[in-house]
Structure formats: structure tokens, C-alpha cells
Amino acid sequence: MTCDSAAEPAWRSYGTSRRATRAVRVRVSAALVAATVLAVLLVPPLVQLDQQAVDLSAKLLPPSWAHPFGTDDLGRDLLLRCVYGLRVSLLVGVVAALAATVLGTAVGVSAGVLGGWVDRGVMRVVDTVSSVPHLLLGIFIVAMFRPGVWPVAVSVALTHWLSTARIVRAEVLSLRSRSYIDAAVSGGASRWRVAVRHLLPAVLPQAALAAVLMVPHAMWHESALSFLGLGLPTHLASLGNLIQGARGSLLAGQWWPTPFPGLFIIVPTLAIAGLAGAWRERINPRRRSELML
């Protein structure tokens, strides 16, 4: 009896500490996401500077009050270029995530509703495409087009709808056994009416969560493709381009052109992932498995 009473406060303390840690994580993630959105929306119109303007007299200046992140090898302000690069990465990430989610949801719902040979055929296609590394397949797709924002977004979308299709299909298969679905079918509702009126609204929260989790993943892929020279044109500010162009400066002893673009990739992606993790726990608290995107 004494042991039970002594153990109870410890469990309560653990649960309280865990909830407090989760709340802090959510607040910090929300603040970082808000700062990211405000930066990409407000900095370009407020700072009346050309991020492409070359000033060789100010090249490779270390961080200072005038240039908080320093300047690159052409004298361009790194802070402003990082903000523009983040703007491009977010655009690619959001567009690619939305396109991949729409495609994956349509495929997953169709496979789950039709079943039979259609389901088996669709899942074999998904397994086959999933066996190819995403980055390798993305390089193959981007190489067929001229460098630009939209080819990168299309390549990321075409390589990242597979996991959404699996998640949505699994949800549809679990929902098909529910009593209200049986009642709708018994009442004469067609297969597609059931899918649109009942199944699709039920899987939308999982699909939306997959889309949010896909945004940072798409940002990483865009940066990787740009770093390899297959993403955005080299004259455009892209976080991958900035890191790739900073390699020579790092070897020459100028450290600042390299870490700041990397932080602009890492911090927003971790913040978005933190919010998505809290959302996942809220909509499905008993499920601890990660959505592998």
C-alpha cells in the first residue's frame, strides 16, 4: 500500500512533465513557423535591396550589423539571399506536397473502394516505384526539363505520392467494415457515392497530415537537387544553390556562407515537423508509428 501511494505521484509527475514538454515544443514550433512565414512575406517588400546586385568591393565580408550573415563571393547580402532561397523552397514544398497529396489520395481511395485486381495492380505499381530511391527518381525526372521551380515541384510530387496512397488505402480498408458504411450500401448507395460522401471525408485528416509532413521533405529534396545543379538555375537564390556555391569559400577559410543557408533549411523543417507531430498525436493519440514519407 505504501509502495503504491509512493509510486502514484511519480507517474503523475511524469505525465505532467511530458505534457509540459509537448506544450513547449508546440509553442516553439509554432513561433518558428510564424517567423518563417513572416520573413518570406515581409522581408522582400520591406528591404528595398536587390538580392542579385553584385558589389565586388564588399565580397566575402564577415557577419556585421550591416550584413548580419555576411556577404558572398559577389558581395551580395547573405541574409536577404537566404530569405529569398527559403521563399523558393517553401513554394516548391507546398506545391509539391499539395499535388502529391491529391494524387495519393485519389489513388488510395480508388484502390480501397474498387478492391480486387484493381487494388492489387495499384499496390504493385506503388511497391515497384517505391523500390527506386526518391532522389534518384527525382534526378531522372528533372533531367528531362530545363532547370526551374515547376520541374522541381513536379518531380518531388511524382516521387512522394506513394506513401499517401498507402496511408489512405489502409484507412479506406479499415472504414469499409464500419456499420454505417454497410447501412449506406444496404440503402442502395453506389460505390462511388459511399466513397465521396463517407470514406473521403473520413480520410481527409490523415491526408492533410501527410501533406504537412511532406512539406519539409519536399524542401530537402529541392535543396538536394539544386545542390547537385539539377534544380533551380544557379543565378536564382536557392538554399541548395547557396550551399553549393559556398564550398569554395569554406575551403578558403570563409565559414559564414555555408552554415546560414543550412540553418534556413534545418530550422523551418524541424518546426513544421514538430507541429505535424503534435497534430498526429491529437488526431490519433494511440498510434505511435511514424508516417514514413
* 27-49 per-position pLDDT tens digit: 888 888 888 888 888 877 776 66
| Exposure string over 147-173, b if 16+ CB within 10 A, otherwise e | bebebbbbbbbbbbbbbbbbbbbebbb
The DSSP secondary structure of 7-70, one letter per residue, reads: HHHHHHHHHHHHHHHHHHHHHHHHHHHHHHHHHHHHHHHHS---TT---GGGTTPPS-SSSTT-
Q: Are 111 and 169 in contact (CB under 8 A)?
A: yes
Percent of the chain's residues with pLDDT above 90: 4
In one-letter notation, the amino acid at residue 199 is: L
The answer on pLDDT for 251 being more than 80 is no
* Mean per-residue pLDDT of the chain: 80
The answer on pLDDT for 65 being more than 50 is yes
Tens digits of per-residue pLDDT, 162-178?
Answer: 888 988 888 888 887 77
pTM, to two decimals:
0.79
Tens digits of per-residue pLDDT, 68-123?
Answer: 888 888 888 888 888 888 888 888 889 999 999 999 999 988 888 887 888 889 88
Label residue 291 by pLDDT band (50, 70, 90). very low
State the Cα torsion 183-187-189-194 to the nearest 10°: -10
Give every CB contact of residue 172 below 8 A, 6+ residues apart in sequence: 108, 109, 111, 112, 113, 195, 199, 203
Give every CB contact of residue 49 below 8 A, 6+ residues apart in sequence: 77, 80
Cell numbers for 183, please give them: 447501412
Mean pLDDT, range 262-281, rounded to an integer: 83
Query: Does residue 182 or residue 156 have the better pLDDT?
Result: 156
pLDDT value of position 293: 44
3-class secondary-structure state, position 90: helix
Percent of the chain's residues with pLDDT above 70: 86
Label residue 182 by pLDDT band (50, 70, 90). low
In degrees rounded to 5, what are phi and psi of residue 84?
A: -65, -40
Residues 37, 77, 79, CA angle at the centre, nearest 5°? 30
The answer on pLDDT for 290 being more than 50 is no
pLDDT value of position 100: 92
Tens digits of per-residue pLDDT, 231-247?
Answer: 777 777 788 888 888 88
Tens digits of per-residue pLDDT, 148-157?
Answer: 888 888 888 8
Q: Are 103 and 157 in contact (CB under 8 A)?
A: yes
Residue written as cell 522582400? 44
